[in-house]
Structure 1
């Protein structure tokens, strides 16, 4: 992978070698103009939410325009422009009724949640959205060192040095490219079963809300590198480094990194509880969920009162024991 940058022929902005078009003015990258495969598409239903800034293409059957991410109705129609076209799409597997059931079951769990949350929560909005992700793959070469307390028989020291090499191929490393969902939210929805992805023309995207790519590939690449390093370090710790070890060091080299844009299915839901609205997300393929929720202040006060009472009791016992000990000493 080269680090060479080109300049846009229109505005002069720098363009990464893997960029499809200039992030500043939208002009197609010079090195992409001679390719035969379609790398861009024209969005004819493009809107930008003035509430959260999300850019999306709406379903052709949408009866009312409302941002699925923040619920705002203040959407501005944008001009037709070139956007990154997905190479593959992962179809929805979780139906609407199943998504509602997943929400009810998930928000009802947890000690700190109000006990009546699942029954009293009112679903205000739920939209199936195709969210953009970058999917990375790379080869990783690692040289690692560590000290272990599992010393050989007859050794005079308490620690013994270890070292080794490891090569691995990682695929399907996901980095969210959403402008409305946070990196933590897009990460919490993973994993997805990427082997079920299909070409875009096999999914009727015109009847879904599709968020456009808001994170350029060059900005997603550092996050992918961090993810690759975390995966490799966990692999080294699990397979090669003994449990009783210290000073574990790993020097990684990432090679042959490649990436492709994909659209992944996510149910964007909003529910209301006592005048407060919370966002809830569901992986539209596996049903894995993440979201916000209220805290039961009654339970918090009960726990806090119990902790204070126990602390006071321990203090009183300590004072009494100290007094008794002093009397016996006299």
Structure 2
């Protein structure tokens, strides 16, 4: 085992060299002086939501202590502790008025949504939050093989083997490190333009809610590898593999992987419709959105009724045609 790995004093779990806390039980890791250790900071306004478990740094200047993820007011003040300090921050470009407009337009779309949803939805909570992400970069080397039906002239077989190599470098592979938002939600908000990121000193984080990193880097790596593999397979398919192919195989080797902790802007909104509350998220840089919403059961019943009526009509028509055929046969 590497000398850079230590065991947690509470649960005995392995602690990676860049971990500030045990990924198994959350116990704070001993401070290291190694050059690989990321910078840390001390949070003086640390809160944990009793409703959803989100951990965040909260400014005392904010109007009310309310969790932006679930709306709960049951926030428990935590002790000062080490947190992962972001290397860069992506500032908000979408203002509150624009975020409200984007939400109204987005929730009104979709055949299965109630037709009056956009007009009758009431925004109950709306908070700009800096959400933590790990931003990965790596070099990928790939050996690929495939069979193609585009055989050379004079070949006797129907399929012809192909193989090749491909090298690429990918940057800006995002993995959400939020403890309150789901991986699907954090991925649906992508992409972000990371070229516009600035140092944390250039952003007034004290006037925003900042969620702390709840996913350790070593647990984000497998998701980053999956993202890199998907990007590389698409690149190989697009550049080298002919359209009519089968048995496409790609063996990847990832090298020189690096990662940075960053804070990205997200508008977290909660709206109410007919006594039900739904969460809606907006990328604070691009305006891309994702969220929950009610289903119009009237439209659902109507569509089901039409499908049933059509099926019954086809059955009756088939029965009539069958009876007519028997009658003509006699």
Which of 17, 20, 29 is 1:27 aligned to? 29
CA distance in 1 between counterparts of 2:68 and 2:302 reads 37
- Distance apart, 1:240 and its partner CA: 0.8
Q: Partner of 1:79 in structure 2?
A: 79
**Which deviates further from its counterpart, 98-107 or 240-249?**
240-249
Q: Partner of 1:132 in structure 2?
A: 132
**Which deviates further from its counterpart, 250-259 or 14-23?**
14-23
- Aligned residue for 2:118, secondary structure, equals helix
| Contact 1:128 1:265 survives alignment (8 Å) | yes
- Please give the per-residue CA displacement for 1:180-220, whole angstroms capped at 9, x wherever unaligned: 00000000000000000000010000110000000000000
Q: Partner of 2:265 in structure 1?
A: 265
Q: Partner of 2:51 in structure 1?
A: 51
CA distance in 1 between counterparts of 2:271 and 2:174 reads 28
Gap regions ≥5 residues in structure 2: none
Gap regions ≥5 residues in structure 1: none
- Distance apart, 1:18 and its partner CA: 3.0
Q: Partner of 1:219 in structure 2?
A: 219
TM-score of the aligned structures, taking structure 1 as reference length: 0.95
- Aligned residue for 1:80, secondary structure, equals coil
- Distance apart, 1:37 and its partner CA: 8.7
| Contact 2:18 2:36 survives alignment (8 Å) | no
CA distance in 2 between counterparts of 1:4 and 1:224 reads 25
**Which deviates further from its counterpart, 97-106 or 242-251?**
242-251
- Distance apart, 1:17 and its partner CA: 2.9
Closer, same or farther: CA 296–124 of 1 in aligned 2, 3 Å: same
- Aligned residue for 1:73, secondary structure, equals coil
| Contact 1:233 1:250 survives alignment (8 Å) | yes
| Contact 2:139 2:254 survives alignment (8 Å) | yes
| Contact 2:20 2:28 survives alignment (8 Å) | no
- Distance apart, 1:128 and its partner CA: 0.2
CA distance in 2 between counterparts of 1:251 and 1:204 reads 45
Closer, same or farther: CA 232–298 of 1 in aligned 2, 3 Å: same
Matches within 5 A, 1:93-112: 93-112=93-112
Closer, same or farther: CA 37–245 of 1 in aligned 2, 3 Å: closer
- Please give the per-residue CA displacement for 1:231-281, whole angstroms capped at 9, x wherever unaligned: 111111111111111111111111111101000000000000000000000
CA distance in 2 between counterparts of 1:34 and 1:16 reads 12
Q: Partner of 1:254 in structure 2?
A: 254
CA distance in 1 between counterparts of 2:34 and 2:151 reads 61
RMSD of aligned residue pairs (Cα, Å): 1.7
CA distance in 1 between counterparts of 2:54 and 2:133 reads 15
CA distance in 1 between counterparts of 2:71 and 2:36 reads 40
Length, aligned pairs only: 327
